[in-house]
Chain A
Amino acid sequence: MSSLRLWLTDPNPASRRQARLGQGYLAWLRIRRNKLAMTGLVIVGLLLLMAAFAPLLAPHDPLAQDLSRRLLPPGTPGNLLGTDDFGRDILSRIIFGSRITLYIIALVAVTAPLLGLLIGTISGYFGGWIDALLMRITDIFLAFPRLILALALVAVMGPGVENAVLAIALTAWPPYARIARAETLTVRNSDYIAAVRLQGAGAPRIIWGHIVPMCLPSVIIRVTLDMAGVILIAAGLGFLGLGVQPPLPEWGQMISSGRKFLFEQWWVATMPGLAILIVSLGFNLLGDGLRDVLDPRSTGK
């Protein structure tokens, strides 16, 4: 173990693989020192485990209805977090709902920032009419309130998880494009970009290999800040009945169905709400730590 650590922390790595693994190890050490980031990592890790082992963890079938046991309060034996209006176990529904939440988050987190990065860097790098065209398109998307645009898209494409994801991704990219373009404008005339152009590099290589790494930190901050918003928009679409369809246990939709009993049976809406809160918090904390880790300049000399 200690020889492995020595190999990883060797200041003079012998190969590219060793250097890369060593940098990864240093990044891990840095994130481990950051208590808040570790908290976020633990929350996200637990969410992953919960989604992976949902059938083992859940005490009941999330879809099984039992009208004789409807609206039981939390702490009832057999129903730790109580039951909803169809007598379904809320804990089991939250556990199974983590799969849907993760699925939506993963898809949106991959597609929207990538699309935004590409459009922003291309726009900033080439300038001229390409820039004008792409930025006007971005403006049009930015001019709509996000939820309204997502609603319109879902209404056109029909409700469902995939369409909800697509709608969220299509409404989430413009801020990333704006950030990426601004960063691109600050680096495109720098000497290191001139140097690589002078070496004969084409535009795709310059944009992907040299400009995107400079834009990544600010985009990642934005992604983690948006992650909570994505969960909430997905929940909002579910709440309005345009996202995940019943009886699937999606957190937003669970809140929506619990709204009717909010004053008498508060737990039906509160429990999934708490789940959304905790997961959003976890992603925010983790993202904050990741930003520090991703900047090699924060490594000690």
Chain B
Amino acid sequence: MMTTATASGTALIEIKDLTVTYRSKGREVRAVEGVSLQVAARQSYGLVGESGSGKSTILRAICDLAPVTGGSIRIAGEALEDPRGTDFSRQVQMVFQDPYASLHPRHTIDRTLSEPLAIHGIKGSDQKVMQALQDVGLPTSFRFRYPHQLSGGQRQRVAIARALMLEPKILLLDEPTSALDASVQAEVLNLLNRLREERGLTFLMVSHDLAVIDHMCDRVLVMQHGRAVEELSRDDLAEAKMTTAYARSLFEASADRMLA
């Protein structure tokens, strides 16, 4: 079974034996089976694996977007309520994979960014929206544009700004750069790293690319077929100290880009 390096007392995100089962028309699909992990505050934790390995489903389960059928999820030592309350949305936010699908096509950037403030009755949205745009490196003149007037990278910056509007402690990143081309990918990853340092955020990041994980994360959990295969620290990764054959094959597939 998994070994975890962090003591359970300090873990901000604590997932134990999580099982997610999709049911449709009598068929059952176990997307995640008995996965446990712990993420300490201010840590950046990666989930890596091929398509269908259940890594995104873990993020969705945290947000109540996937049917949890077993195990427990704790944030800051407390079990999550069902349905997730407003406290949860102030603590945890998510950046979705596809920036073309995650922004409302008929809302201006201004509306998209001020919506979370309106939901939580936070005042001063005018100024906060401008500040948020600056923080993610977008010109404030973009404020009243529609998503279709922005590029993919710019959209993803808007999505990141939206996730940060409520000043959460935890950011769930669901392959935030897989829909972007290589140069934009690096920009967005660097932006995320900078924001994490400035704001002391905790990341739980999903990727199928070990190179991205290596650039971003302190620890990584390798997954396959809905199960955890192996947990590695960044040093393990750098020294290629993986014990399972699957993790090694993933590593070898992206090793050349990691060394570069």
Q: Which residues on A are within 8 Å of B, measured CB to CB?
A: 11-13, 16, 19, 22, 190-192, 194-196, 198-201, 205, 209-210, 213-214, 296-297, 299, 301
B window 106-123: CB within 8 A of A: 106-108, 110, 115-116, 119-120
| Bound CA–CA A250/B126 (angstroms) | 51
A194 and B96 form a contact (CB under 8 A): yes
B94 and A195 form a contact (CB under 8 A): yes
Which B residues are in CB contact (< 8 Å) with A210? Answer: 104, 107
A-B contact pairs, 6 of them (CB 8 A): A22-B144, A195-B102, A200-B86, A200-B116, A296-B106, A297-B105
Which B residues are in CB contact (< 8 Å) with A195? Answer: 94, 96, 102, 159, 162
A199 and B96 form a contact (CB under 8 A): no
Asked if B80 lies at the interface with its beta carbon under 8 angstroms from chain A, I say no
Which A residues are in CB contact (< 8 Å) with B94? Answer: 194-195, 198
B window 75-90: CB within 8 A of A: 84-86, 88-90
B89 and A191 form a contact (CB under 8 A): no
The residue in chain A whose Cβ has the minimal distance to the Cβ of B163 is A195
A16 and B110 form a contact (CB under 8 A): yes
| Bound CA–CA A13/B165 (angstroms) | 22
Q: Which of B84, B92, B105 counts the most A-chain CB atoms under 10 A from its CB?
A: B105
Q: A199-B119, A296-B106, A297-B105 are in contact. Are A191 and B85 (CB under 8 A)?
A: no
Which A residues are in CB contact (< 8 Å) with B251? Answer: none
Which of B88, B101, B143 has a CB less than 8 Å from the CB of A191?
B101
The residue in chain B whose Cβ has the minimal distance to the Cβ of A213 is B106
B75 → chain A, closest Cβ, in Å? Answer: 14
B93 and A297 form a contact (CB under 8 A): no
A199 and B115 form a contact (CB under 8 A): yes
| Bound CA–CA A297/B120 (angstroms) | 29
Which of A192, A213, A214 has a CB less than 8 Å from the CB of B101?
A192
B96 and A191 form a contact (CB under 8 A): yes
Q: A205-B119, A214-B106, A301-B149 are in contact. Are A200 and B96 (CB under 8 A)?
A: no
A191 and B63 form a contact (CB under 8 A): no
Other A-B contacts than A199-B89, A199-B115, A199-B166, 15 sampled, CB-CB below 8 A, are: A12-B141, A12-B144, A16-B126, A19-B110, A194-B63, A194-B65, A194-B96, A195-B94, A195-B162, A198-B92, A199-B119, A205-B119, A210-B107, A213-B107, A214-B106
B126 → chain A, closest Cβ, in Å? Answer: 8
Asked if B98 lies at the interface with its beta carbon under 8 angstroms from chain A, I say yes
B100 → chain A, closest Cβ, in Å? Answer: 9
A144 → chain B, closest Cβ, in Å? Answer: 34
B101 and A200 form a contact (CB under 8 A): no
Q: Give the interface SS of chain B, mostly helix, strand, loop or mixed.
A: loop
Asked if B103 lies at the interface with its beta carbon under 8 angstroms from chain A, I say yes
How does the 8 Å CB contact mask read for B47-64 relative to A, with 1 for contact and 0 for none? 000000000000000010
Asked if B148 lies at the interface with its beta carbon under 8 angstroms from chain A, I say yes
Which B residues are in CB contact (< 8 Å) with A12? Answer: 141, 143-144
How many chain B residues touch A (CB < 8 A): the figure is 38
A19 and B101 form a contact (CB under 8 A): no
| Bound CA–CA A12/B104 (angstroms) | 20
Q: Which of A195, A196, A201, A214 counts the most B-chain CB atoms under 10 A from its CB?
A: A195
A121 → chain B, closest Cβ, in Å? Answer: 15
Asked if B146 lies at the interface with its beta carbon under 8 angstroms from chain A, I say yes
The 5 closest A-B pairs by CB, nearest first: A12-B141, A200-B89, A19-B144, A191-B102, A199-B116
Which of B119, B141, B148, B162 has a CB less than 8 Å from the CB of A201?
B119
| Bound CA–CA A210/B116 (angstroms) | 13
Which B residues are in CB contact (< 8 Å) with A199? Answer: 89, 93, 115-116, 119-120, 165-166
Which A residues are in CB contact (< 8 Å) with B88? Answer: 200
How does the 8 Å CB contact mask read for B146-183 relative to A, with 1 for contact and 0 for none? 10110000000001001001100000000000000000
A1 → chain B, closest Cβ, in Å? Answer: 23
Q: A198-B94, A199-B115, A200-B86 are in contact. Are A190 and B101 (CB under 8 A)?
A: yes
B141 and A11 form a contact (CB under 8 A): yes
B115 and A198 form a contact (CB under 8 A): no
A224 → chain B, closest Cβ, in Å? Answer: 19
The residue in chain B whose Cβ has the minimal distance to the Cβ of A298 is B148
B120 and A200 form a contact (CB under 8 A): yes
Which A residues are in CB contact (< 8 Å) with B143? Answer: 12-13, 19
| Bound CA–CA A190/B65 (angstroms) | 11
Which B residues are in CB contact (< 8 Å) with A190? Answer: 101
B103 and A296 form a contact (CB under 8 A): no
| Bound CA–CA A214/B106 (angstroms) | 7
